[in-house]
């Protein structure tokens, strides 16, 4: 059984990645909700698994593994289930490259923009910088998706990592996916995947 930690209400794209992955792989799982941070301090039960106090985090009761960081969790669950990560080294390298692109670039830029959107001291120059970065990422993804149904041919953990951000990028970053037609089609393809519908129904 895999325990996934999340906070309520959880519309966090980082948590969605793991919820989708659990639905895709069919691994048995259960949810443990944790309260919001109390000031700077996260709940003790979360800090034991996620020293940075962030969600998502998981415990695999079968192996005793505890993980935080969504990219590491996706890699772990893919390896455990044998799904959504090719065995071939070159193909695996491709998938890991796009997974790292998300965790190092797209996720942080979206998170920063979200922070400034909620902030009283929202600075247009700073937000503009993140919007431009995100538009550049959309262009990169659009080129990668030209002639491909998924980022690396078959659906993989790279698609699962990038989808939850792409699904909200129009709303958050004032970007129109009409300018990135391959990305737009891919978002529709991902939206139609059964695991994502299942994950959405579970309300995670
Ligand atoms: N790089 C981390 C980011 C995790 C993260 O920032 N999680 C957010 C929710 S999306 C969180 O827990 N924020 C609340 C906090 O830091 O207290 C990952 O990919 O898992």
What is the second-level CATH architecture of the domain 89-193? Up-down Bundle (1.20)
Q: Is the distance from CB of 152 to CB of 94 less than 8 angstroms?
A: yes
Pairing of strands 57-60, 29-34: unpaired
What is the reported pTM?
0.94
Measured from the CB, is residue 113 less than 6 Å from ligand 1?
no
Structure tokens at 4: 């996934």
Residue-level pLDDT at 167: 95
Which atom number of ligand 1 is nearest to the Cα of residue 12? 10
Q: Domain 2-84+196-202 in CATH: superfamily? A: Glutaredoxin (3.40.30.10)
Please determine, for residue 203, whether its predicted confidence score (pLDDT) is greater than 50: no
The rounded mean pLDDT for the chain is 92
Distance separating alpha carbons of residues 105 and 109, to the nearest angstrom: 6
Give how far Cα 106 sits from Cα of 33, 136, 140, 160, Å. 26, 10, 11, 13
Q: Which residue has the higher pLDDT, 61 or 33?
A: 61
Structure tokens at 119: 């902030």
pLDDT digits (tens, 9 = 90+) for 20-31: 999 999 999 998
Residue-level pLDDT at 197: 66
pLDDT digits (tens, 9 = 90+) for 116-135: 988 877 788 899 999 999 99
Q: How far is the CA of 60 from the centre of ligand 1 (A)?
A: 20
Distance separating alpha carbons of residues 136 and 96, to the nearest angstrom: 20
Please determine, for residue 204, whether its predicted confidence score (pLDDT) is greater than 50: no
Give how far Cα 135 sits from Cα of 34, 141, 143, 165, 198, Å. 34, 10, 13, 13, 30
Mutate to test the pocket of ligand 1, among 15, 19, 54 (most ligand atoms within 8 A of CB): 54
Residue-level pLDDT at 111: 95
Confidence bin at 11 (pLDDT 50/70/90): confident
137: Cβ contacts below 8 Å, ≥ 6 apart = 101, 105, 106, 109
Q: Which residue has the higher pLDDT, 34 or 177?
A: 177
Residue-level pLDDT at 46: 92
Confidence bin at 10 (pLDDT 50/70/90): low
Domain boundaries defined on the chain:
2-84+196-202, 89-193
């Amino acid at each position: 059984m895999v325990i996934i930690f999340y906070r309520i209400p959880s519309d966090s794209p980082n948590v969605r990645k793991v919820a989708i992955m659990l639905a895709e792989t069919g691994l048995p799982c259960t949810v443990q909700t944790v309260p919001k941070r109390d000031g700077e301090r996260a709940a003790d039960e979360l800090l034991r698994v996620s020293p940075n106090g962030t969600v998502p985090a998981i415990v695999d009761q079968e192996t005793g593994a505890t993980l935080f960081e969504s990219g590491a969790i996706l890699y772990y669950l893919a390896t455990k289930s044998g799904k959504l990560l090719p065995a071939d080294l070159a193909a695996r390298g491709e998938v890991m490259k796009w997974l790292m692109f998300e965790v190092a670039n797209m996720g942080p830029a979206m998170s920063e923009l979200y922070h400034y959107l909620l902030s009283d001291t929202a600075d247009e120059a700073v937000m503009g910088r993140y919007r431009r970065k995100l538009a550049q990422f959309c262009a990169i993804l659009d080129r990668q998706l030209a002639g491909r149904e998924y980022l690396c041919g078959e659906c993989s953990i790279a698609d699962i990592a990038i989808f939850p951000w792409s699904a909200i990028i129009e709303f958050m970053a004032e970007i129109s996916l009409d300018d990135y037609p391959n990305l737009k089609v891919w978002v529709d393809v991902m939206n139609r995947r059964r695991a994502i519908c299942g994950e959405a129904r579970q309300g995670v």
